[in-house]
Amino acid sequence: MAKPTISLKGRALRYLSMREHSRIELMRKLSRYVQEGDDIEALLDWLEESKFLSQERFSESLIHRRAGRYGNSRIVMELKSHGITGEAINAVKSQLAEGEFARAREVWARKFGRQPVDAIERGKQMRFLLQRGFSHRAVQAAIKGAADELEFDPAEPDEDVVE
């Protein structure tokens, strides 16, 4: 006996019930199942109007999943790859900037947990955090362990954040 085929709308709702998706991500997943007469754009518009699909919720979800492991520039770059732009990105940047030092310090402590003993180890620790998307200033402050000494101001724009 053949399995009944799931409609495009049903498939979209199943994906969204598992986790938040961006519009671009959901379109990519659904495009494999499009049949003649299906209109993905209309379906996505309906999902947004019905509040099943929300870019704001997707952004919050992605930030929540990634913030414990990655820095601001990596998270912002991933959001942009999912089609989040404009004012939403600016809001995310300011939200993330507030806790970047603490997140960098936490990631550093989980991975290394002790001050570097020489320049080679210090470079290794810095490269690790920089590759995770933390700003240079947050990396230095995390390794040094004293945000007060550097007068770390999260509201100050950082040249390392990808625009």
- Contact status, residue 54 vs residue 84, Cβ threshold 8 Å: no
Q: Which pLDDT score is estimated for 1? A: 65
Asked if 47 and 109 sit in the same domain, the reply is: no
Q: Classify burial at 107, counting beta carbons within 10 Å of its beta carbon; exposed 0-12, middle 13-18, buried 19 or more.
A: buried
Range of the domain at 125: 72-150
Q: 99 in a domain, yes or no?
A: yes
Q: 62 in a domain, yes or no?
A: no
- Contact status, residue 78 vs residue 59, Cβ threshold 8 Å: no
- Contact status, residue 140 vs residue 116, Cβ threshold 8 Å: no
Asked if 29 and 91 sit in the same domain, the reply is: no
Q: Which pLDDT score is estimated for 146? A: 45
Q: 56 in a domain, yes or no?
A: no
Asked if 91 and 121 sit in the same domain, the reply is: yes
User: In Å, how far from its chain's centre is CA 29?
Assistant: 19
Report the distance separating Cα 73 and Cα 152, nearest Å. 17
Q: Which pLDDT score is estimated for 74? A: 93
Asked if 36 and 76 sit in the same domain, the reply is: no
Asked if 137 and 77 sit in the same domain, the reply is: yes
Q: Which pLDDT score is estimated for 73? A: 92
Asked if 43 and 81 sit in the same domain, the reply is: no
Overall domain count for the chain: 2
Asked if 103 and 135 sit in the same domain, the reply is: yes
pLDDT in tens, the chain (163 residues): 667 778 899 999 999 999 999 999 999 999 998 888 888 999 999 999 999 999 889 999 999 999 889 999 999 999 999 988 888 888 888 888 888 999 999 999 999 988 888 999 999 999 999 999 999 999 999 988 743 443 445 555 555 555 4
pTM of the shown model: 0.76
Asked if 96 and 135 sit in the same domain, the reply is: yes
Asked if 146 and 76 sit in the same domain, the reply is: yes
Asked if 45 and 80 sit in the same domain, the reply is: no
Asked if 86 and 146 sit in the same domain, the reply is: yes
Q: 57 in a domain, yes or no?
A: no
Q: 118 in a domain, yes or no?
A: yes
Q: 133 in a domain, yes or no?
A: yes
- Contact status, residue 109 vs residue 143, Cβ threshold 8 Å: no
Q: Which pLDDT score is estimated for 127? A: 95
Asked if 13 and 45 sit in the same domain, the reply is: yes
